[in-house]
Structure 1
Amino acid sequence: MVQLQYQDFVIRDWETRDSNSASELIRSVLSDYGLSWESTGADLDVINVEECYLAKGGEFWVIERQNIIVGTGAYYRTCRGKNAVEIRKMYLLPTVRGKGLGRYLLQELENAIARRGFKQILIETASVLAEAVKLYETSGYLPTEGVETARCDRVYFKNL
């Protein structure tokens, strides 16, 4: 069970009651960058967290501030790479960016992944998400090939 504290933020495991709030947050952040919500494609996993993450040995976390969801982060096992996972759905509302929360979230996801014995992390993103690209590149992720999500144009990997 995940329960982390960073400044006045609480990072915890996703619960069924978080479905609408998490979906709306992701939809909002995507819209801010001119990207569309894909309920039958790239974002179907947010609608089916139990099936897409939890049942497959992954995790889905929400970040709260004063009991309001302000961010998400998740990972699940992938067939790409050797003993690999893909970090997904790392989104923060604009009001909480620039506080080190994204870097902290990424590090804690990496720690959880390493504790579970995985050896490689993949992350897909879009160039328009400039803050995310910078975060991954300054956190030791290297560009690679094989983008699978239509709205993404970059994929990164990191060996643990």
Structure 2
Amino acid sequence: MTNRIVQFSAELQQQADAFFQECFSAVGIPYSPADRHADVADIEGHYMQNGCFWCMVDGEGGIVGTVALRVIDAENRVVELKRMFVLPKQQGKGYGRRLLDTAIAYAREQGYSRICLDTRRQFAAAQHLYKSSGFVLMDRYNDNEFADFFFELEL
């Protein structure tokens, strides 16, 4: 059975917790669900009311990748791409591209005008993916102290 992309539902929260613990640990970032990662500890509350969150699940229902959009400027129809992750052992298989394409298609279908995102220097493969999907560098748009680069895609 191939991996499929599904919208997040509350039944996936426990798998999401384990997924993010593994992803953050793999890149040397302590997982902190009580504060800086509170959004992924409560995906329903942080993304499903003001955007969308998708999980790529394998044949057994385990999460292998995620991506989210949240509205950051309702008046100008701007969304932010968040929590774009693929398990380290699953990277290089095109899953990130499938997740990103899902988020971009959704943003277009919903009539958003632009997608913004921030990322860290260490995520070079993700930066390449964003650029190959049409994202371009932009000036800082938020106060994320951990971000090194900021990208946007005009829709």
Distance between the aligned counterparts of 2:100 and 2:86, measured in 1?
12
Distance between the aligned counterparts of 2:110 and 2:79, measured in 1?
11
Distance between the aligned counterparts of 2:42 and 2:83, measured in 1?
13
Identity among equivalent pairs (%): 25
| Consecutive aligned runs of 4 or more in structure 1 exceeding 6 Å deviation | none
- Gap regions ≥5 residues in structure 1: 1-6
Give the superposed CA RMSD: 1.9
The equivalences for 1:48-127 within 5 A come to 48-56=42-50, 58-66=51-59, 67-79=61-73, 82-127=76-121
Superimposed CA distance per residue, residues 30-72 of structure 1 (whole angstroms, 9 cap, x where no aligned partner): 221122323244421112222211112x111111111211111
TM-score, L = length of structure 1: 0.87
Give the match for residue 153 of structure 1: 148
The equivalences for 1:6-85 within 5 A come to 8-56=2-50, 58-66=51-59, 67-79=61-73, 82-85=76-79
Distance between the aligned counterparts of 2:91 and 2:24, measured in 1?
15
Tell whether the 8 Å contact from 2:81 to 2:117 is kept in structure 1 after alignment. Answer: yes
